[in-house]
Structure 1
Amino acid sequence: MTPKQKHNLQIIVRFTAFWTLFGSLYGIVEYGILGDSNIYPSTNNVYGGKSQIVYVVFGAALLGIIVGCMEVFIFKNLFVKKPFAFKVFFKSAFYSFLIFLFLVVLGAVFTSHRLNKPIIDAAVIQSQMRFVSNFAFTSIFIYIGFAFFLSFFIFEMSKSMGIMVVYNFIMGKYHKPSIEERVFMFMDMKSSTTIAEQLGHVKYYELLNKYYADMSDAILNTQGEIYQYVGDEIIISWPKSVGIKNNNCLNCFFEIKDNINLKSNEYFNAFSLVPQFKAGLHCGPVTTGEIGQLKKEIVFTGDVLNTTSRIQMLCNEYNAQLLISQQLLDLLKPNDTYNVQTIGEIQLRGRDRKINISKVTK
């Protein structure tokens, strides 16, 4: 299974887990209120007691799988350019309508099973009509609508901030600063100032939006994490073990390059240019922790970030698209796919010690 497939599976699993939890809570609360009663007092419909919890949990889990699959395979790119609020409210309303149909059908199947009669039997239909027209159904519908809203709010927030950022905030992983080894890649668009002047602010924003979107698959496939967007620069990071595994950090750069080149006609037709970029790679220890009071953010601090930035700035000087520190190169196992050209010891601006760097091509 590729990292991208794992990512899609994780989305489906998260929706399934969320709805299984909500279904379980609803089933338990309902049983706590009705106990061993055989009917719903408000509708006189049949109530199944403990067995009802199984039906509710199974139905909720199935719903989570369906919603997760629809988000991955149908709605993934459909609302990319829509505002956050629109996506949350529209999806909540859309799925709430679907759940209305789902509840009616599921209720009919359950009632048919309990009454041991066909689903089109008059007694089953009347039971469903009583259920739908009763406030009990309205209250369930409100509960489910809220669950949809909450699930999509969390889902869209995780996409905006990054799922690992949201997870780390919730789990409090970086509530106290910690030191970890990470790999960083600073990637910068070439001639961005000139391009911005040629295209204008709005068109340049559209270029950046597409440019970053077209990097997504490569970053996913190499298990990278987007740390920051800084104008036309993107900072990608990996835990050290992940970044060096299978040359992930190297593969990421060249996979991005291949993806942009494959879409060169799209860029030229839309912007009359194909973006070119350069990058620097380095690794080392960083201090990671939450910072800020009015707005919290997980930040990395350490010399490795400054060094990586300085390495990237040397790309033009050495006519290189990708420069890498010897410290990181020693941890990698570049195969015949890559050509490594040693540049030697370089004095970086703002550093006392020199650093060995190499130029990497494919």
Structure 2
Amino acid sequence: MLKLKKSTKDQIKSFLTINAFWIIFIYLWNFLQMDPEIEIPEELKDPFKERMDGLNLLLGGVLMGTIFSLLNMRINKKQEQLRKQSYGRIILFYSIVHLILTVICVFIIGILSQYIMIGEINKEDILEIRSFVRSANFFKILIYTYLISSGIILMQIFNQKFGPGVLIDLLLGKYRQPKEVKMIFLFMDLKSSTTYAEKLGHKKYSQLIQDCFTDLTLAVNEFNANIYQYIGDEVVLIWPYEEGVRNAKCVKVFYRFKEYLEKRSDHYLSSYGFVPQFKAGLNGGTLMAAEVGVIKRSIAYHGDVINTASRIQGLCNSFEKEFLASKLIISDLSVYNTFNYSYIDNLNLKGKKEKVSIYSINKTHS
């Protein structure tokens, strides 16, 4: 059986979802244009024309969905360049592209439907389509499709803002009442951050953090992680427990992030004079999840698990290790035989009564 990469699966899923939305909204447009007061006698109805109208709608939905899916994929590949542009310029650019693509779609749909119906295309057909593009009806279609595509992109932005699936949970009120969940937390922090901040200055240092977290996004997408929060030069990644442990995703994501940083070493050396390195602390277990806030809502996690993960990450400098984890995680990860795990010590962590066994994770092979 052909095994697809996660990125490919995500692209296919996004492609099919966007196409489905477009088909639904194109049929909805047709429904809204119907005049219920006009009744056509049965003997005057043209079954073939009715089938063609349905075919035109399907063609329109698939074509618009396909074109805008490809545009969406292109936008996703240019995230780093777009991040440097103002929202105003992005909106203006997208509006112009939308107008051009909609005109192209109308021409293609008109030509294909005419060819399917009578088997040929003549000059009059082309002129009729051109005339339609200049009409008030086309302007209505343009506004309608613009609202649809903008809505789809807005949903994707919200999804990126809150993390995959979080927006749906907020809308459904899933965590309105605190719920017990089992999660994995990975804290990652820039090494020697104070030294670098003093050396670079606050503006250059901020640009460094932006670059690092842009590269991190690639690894996050690859290993199904969610970004829980950014705290200065620190980032917290989370997974449902079983998902994060499976195939050691919660460990692999750290080393893939390192690889992305190393691949762009020329950029970091020329821009900042060094290649950034991160340290990490990993822990997992059962804690509470709840929707918090009124003006700004989010899903927050409360419990000892997250505090312990933070404390473990804070020990990296003391033991001169880049990646530390608790015994609980190591026990579940060891079955994958992907990394070497070295016992460090059984320690009293700040704020904890019971000692925690700490292990160092060392990369061997992926």
TM superposition score normalised by structure 1 = 0.89
Question: Aligned partner of 1:15: which letter?
Answer: I
1:33: how far off?
Answer: 5.2
Question: Aligned partner of 2:97: which letter?
Answer: F
The corresponding residue for 1:42 is none
**Equivalent position SS for 2:259:** helix
**Residue of 26, 29, 47 corresponding to 1:26:** 29
The corresponding residue for 2:331 is 330
Contact kept in structure 2, 1:31 and 1:50, CA below 8 Å: no
Question: Aligned partner of 2:30: which letter?
Answer: G
The corresponding residue for 2:303 is 302
Question: Aligned partner of 1:234: which letter?
Answer: V
The corresponding residue for 1:319 is 320
| Distance 1:249-1:191 versus aligned 2 partners, 3 A rule | same
1:112: how far off?
Answer: 4.8
The corresponding residue for 2:157 is 156
Higher helix share: 2
| Distance 1:19-1:185 versus aligned 2 partners, 3 A rule | same
Task: Give CA deviations for 1:177-234 in whole Å, capped at 9, x if unaligned.
Answer: 2111001100010111221121122211211111011112222222111111111000
Contact kept in structure 1, 2:186 and 2:238, CA below 8 Å: yes
Question: Aligned partner of 2:241: which letter?
Answer: K
1:32: how far off?
Answer: 5.4
Task: Give CA deviations for 1:114-162 in whole Å, capped at 9, x if unaligned.
Answer: 4x2632332x234324423332222112211222222222223323332
Gaps of 5+ in 2: 42-47
The corresponding residue for 2:18 is 15
Aligned length: 352
Question: Aligned partner of 2:21: which letter?
Answer: F
**Equivalent position SS for 2:282:** strand
The corresponding residue for 2:44 is none
| Distance 1:26-1:345 versus aligned 2 partners, 3 A rule | same
| Distance 1:35-1:19 versus aligned 2 partners, 3 A rule | farther
Percent identity of equivalent pairs? 29
The corresponding residue for 1:43 is none
2:238 matches 1:237: yes
**Equivalent position SS for 1:79:** helix
Task: Give CA deviations for 1:226-279 in whole Å, capped at 9, x if unaligned.
Answer: 111111000000100101101111111112122222322221111101111111
Contact kept in structure 1, 2:189 and 2:280, CA below 8 Å: yes
1:330: how far off?
Answer: 1.0
Of 76-85 and 16-25, deviating more is 76-85
Kindly report which structure 2 residues correspond to 1:170-209, keeping only aligned pairs within 5 A, or say none: 170-209=171-210
d(CA) in 1 for partners of 2:82, 2:262: 25
Gaps of 5+ in 1: 39-46
Kindly report which structure 2 residues correspond to 1:119-158, keeping only aligned pairs within 5 A, or say none: 119-122=121-124, 124-158=125-159
d(CA) in 2 for partners of 1:262, 1:61: 38
1:163: how far off?
Answer: 3.0
| Distance 1:8-1:84 versus aligned 2 partners, 3 A rule | farther
Of 103-112 and 292-301, deviating more is 103-112
**Equivalent position SS for 2:319:** coil
d(CA) in 2 for partners of 1:84, 1:13: 27
Of 139-148 and 272-281, deviating more is 139-148
Of 93-102 and 332-341, deviating more is 332-341
d(CA) in 1 for partners of 2:170, 2:305: 24
Contact kept in structure 2, 1:185 and 1:308, CA below 8 Å: yes
The corresponding residue for 1:289 is 290
**Equivalent position SS for 1:107:** helix
**Equivalent position SS for 1:63:** helix
2:125 matches 1:118: no
Task: Give CA deviations for 1:84-108 in whole Å, capped at 9, x if unaligned.
Answer: 4543443233122211122133224
Kindly report which structure 2 residues correspond to 1:73-88, keeping only aligned pairs within 5 A, or say none: 73=74, 76-77=77-78, 78-88=81-91
The corresponding residue for 1:95 is 98
Contact kept in structure 1, 2:287 and 2:301, CA below 8 Å: yes
**Equivalent position SS for 1:152:** helix
Kindly report which structure 2 residues correspond to 1:205-220, keeping only aligned pairs within 5 A, or say none: 205-220=206-221
TM superposition score normalised by structure 2 = 0.88
**Equivalent position SS for 2:109:** helix
Contact kept in structure 2, 1:8 and 1:72, CA below 8 Å: yes
1:165: how far off?
Answer: 2.1
The corresponding residue for 1:66 is 67
1:292: how far off?
Answer: 0.9
